[in-house]
Amino acid sequence: MKVCVIGSGYVGLVAGASFAEYGNHVICVDKDSKKIEDLKKGIIPIYEPGLSELVLSNHKENRLGFSTSIQEGVESSELIFIAVGTPTSDDGSADLSAVYAVAEQIGKSLNGYKVIVDKSTVPVGTAAKVKEIISKNTKHEFDVVSNPEFLKEGAAIDDFMKPERVVIGADSEKAGELVAQLYAPFVLNGNPIIKMGTVSAELTKYACNAFLATKISFANEIANLCESVGADYEDVRKGMGTDSRIGRQFLYAGIGYGGSCFPKDVRALIRTSENFSSSLRIIKEVENVNEDQKVRLYTKIENFFGKDQIKGKTFAVWGLAFKPGTDDMREAPSIPLLLKLHEEGAKIKAFDPVAKETSEHYFKGKIEYSKDAYEALQDADALLLLTEWREFREPDFSRMKKLMKGHVIFDGRNQYRPDHMKKEGFKYLSIGKKPV
């Protein structure tokens, strides 16, 4: 099939490359001319495991092309995916200006029947609005479909190629079948293609992310209670997770969620509920809990050293990105924590395997970057583990102890065993456990 993907960011590029991998002819469109020129040269604008190889191989085979022209992409394709950004507006709602601008250009470029697919995460009613905008700019027939993405950063290629389910929101049987035909090779393992109306599909995406965010905030609240009553959250987590009604995933305690999806989507869902006078009281608290959790490690640091003793201390930091496997710094818990430490006069020496460049925008010279994890430890008073990259899981503790001035670890991701840390001679403070 001939496919156009408008927006060559995270979702658009993963989708375009994956469609091409299954033999479709795909053109990825973006208004950023430098990004398009870089892609033509094989320079990938984002870090995602496996994406570079997928883009390069399909571009080489002429199944994947790049352009700055929406007209070129629309005229040459049967299916047009809108995958532009929908950032949070000041009032918490999703900013749909880019989606609507693209819809207008699509309408002006239609040269026959097309199916326009909303791939961007958009609130209820967006498909109807996109249809209205396109209708004002064309006399050709078309349909609008909602096809939300369910990608995890760091595992996006696998998620797209082997989806647990494909959700297709279509009010036209013809359009729904065409999109289902495109996805058929991706679900040969028997996983379902779920068809529904456009409004239901739009809400499904937000409901999924809000529920997962709720599990994370719930886990963190219980972990905090464990610290107060003297329980071990790891034991509690195992007890909960083995209940098939609850499940093991998203029950790990830590310093809160971040990234491009959960924070933005939770806020947008809250805003949608307010617009329709249907309050989501639980979801509002999910966001509040998460914001508090992001600075919980600071409270532990302040209690350990004393508020007046943070100034002049050197903190080594392992991990800056909001999660391992990505360079994404959007809403990363490391940001408010490290900015607070800087504000209190601390020196920060940080290492992240891939997020140095993306993090510079947020810290603006307020932290020092190290070439590797061990360099960051030199003369540090404490180590803060903020992102659970695999290379941090089994470090050389003897080497760490020799490099550090103070032998204390604040573990925001519960990577180590307290008994092991005590044996190694470290003071160890984590989430949901007694300090040792």
Provide CATH 3.40.50.720 ranges for the chain: 2-196, 197-435
C-beta separation of 105 from 136 below 8 A: no
Average pLDDT of the chain to the nearest whole number: 96
For residue 88, what pLDDT band results from cuts at 50, 70 and 90? confident
| Residue-wise pLDDT tens digits, 162-177 | 999 999 999 999 999 9
User: What average pLDDT does this structure show over 183-207?
Assistant: 96
Query: Domain 2-196 class?
Result: alpha beta
DSSP 111: -
User: What average pLDDT does this structure show over 327-338?
Assistant: 96
DSSP-assigned states of every residue in 396-431: -HHHHHHH-SS-EEEETT--S-HHHHHHHT-EEE-S
Closest by alpha carbon to 12, among 99, 128, 101, 76?
A: 99
Closest by alpha carbon to 224, among 167, 135, 284, 297?
A: 297
C-beta separation of 129 from 100 below 8 A: yes
Does the annotation flag 205 for ligand binding? yes
Does the annotation flag 307 for ligand binding? no
Catalytic residues: 261
Token readout for 57 is 């191989």
Pairwise CA distance, residues 238 & 228, whole Å: 19
pLDDT given at position 142: 98
| Residue-wise pLDDT tens digits, 381-406 | 999 999 999 999 999 999 999 999 99
pLDDT given at position 91: 87
Does the annotation flag 30 for ligand binding? yes
pLDDT given at position 280: 95
> Which architecture, in CATH terms, is 197-435?
3-Layer(aba) Sandwich (3.40)
Residue with tokens 């604040």: 410
Pairwise CA distance, residues 388 & 2, whole Å: 40
Does the annotation flag 330 for ligand binding? yes
Does the annotation flag 54 for ligand binding? no
